[in-house]
Amino acid sequence: MTEAVAPITLLQRLRTETRPSHDAVEQNGFAQSMRAGTLTLATTQYFLAKMYGFLKPYEDRLQEFSWAPAWEIERRLRAHLILSDLESGPDAAALPLCPAMPPLHTRAELLGAMYVLEGSTLGGQVISRELAKAGISARTYFEGNRERTGPLWKSFCHLLSEAAVEEDDNDIVLSARRTFEHLEAWLNHE
């Protein structure tokens, strides 16, 4: 008698198949400074400026699509939070935007990108605590939705699973991998 094997869920595939790209993103200078305990305001602001350059075009594209109210898209937008962290830094108009974004033309591509950027909110909670320990107040972006971060992530995972019924899982996974790869290239680009 053979035992039935449960099918692999989209979230399991995303976790597994994006792991190498996810790990590569976490090798940027900001993450290395955090692990070494050498975070500075300048390093933090540089990282935030880079994140703004990636998030702003992604969020602009995200808002061009029609989403049901359950997605709470407005609550998921975070580029504007970076601007409050950069009060003493450059003006938003002076911040460079990533010229080589991953394709974000279809709903599946946006879902893959959302997986990456929504997932980063969880890491942001950890980073916020590290910044507080280092006495760095520029952490509004990392705090994001604070106590709502976990519930919003769970909500996203549920909505993603539901939406995947109408989308090709392969397209979502490919988009998530591409998003990590483009983000890593952008963060490491001088």
7 belongs to a structural domain? no
17 belongs to a structural domain? no
User: Higher model confidence: residue 26 or residue 179?
Assistant: 179
Phi then psi dihedrals of residue 141, to 5 deg? -60, -45
152 belongs to a structural domain? yes
Measured distance CA(138)–CA(82) in Å, rounded: 8
154 belongs to a structural domain? yes
Query: If pLDDT is split at 50, 70 and 90, which confidence band does 1 have?
Result: low
pTM for the predicted model, two decimal places: 0.91
Q: Encode pLDDT of 114-169 as tens digits.
A: 999 999 999 999 999 999 999 999 999 999 899 999 999 999 999 999 998 999 99
141 belongs to a structural domain? yes
Q: Encode pLDDT of 20-55 as tens digits.
A: 999 999 998 899 998 998 999 999 999 999 999 999
156 belongs to a structural domain? yes
Query: If pLDDT is split at 50, 70 and 90, which confidence band does 4 have?
Result: low
Concatenated DSSP letters of 25-71? HTTSHHHHHHHHT---HHHHHHHHHHHHHHHHHHHHHHHHS---GGG
143 alpha carbon, distance to own chain's centre? 13
The whole-number average pLDDT for the span 1-29 is 84
Concatenated DSSP letters of 113-168? HHHHHHHHHHHHHHHHHHHHHTT----HHHHTTGGGHHHHHHHHHHHHHHHTTTS-
The tokens describing 160, both together, are 């993603």
Measured distance CA(39)–CA(129) in Å, rounded: 12
The whole-number average pLDDT for the span 60-84 is 95
Measured distance CA(4)–CA(22) in Å, rounded: 31
Structural domain boundaries enclosing 106: 39-187
Residues near 83 by Cβ (< 8 Å), separated by ≥ 6?
Answer: 52, 92
One-letter identity of residue 1? M
112 belongs to a structural domain? yes
Measured distance CA(167)–CA(115) in Å, rounded: 14
Q: Measuring CA to CA, which residue among 169, 156, 179, 177 is closest to residue 19? A: 177
The tokens describing 68, both together, are 């049901």
Per the structure, the count of domains in the chain is 1
CATH number, residue 108: 1.20.910
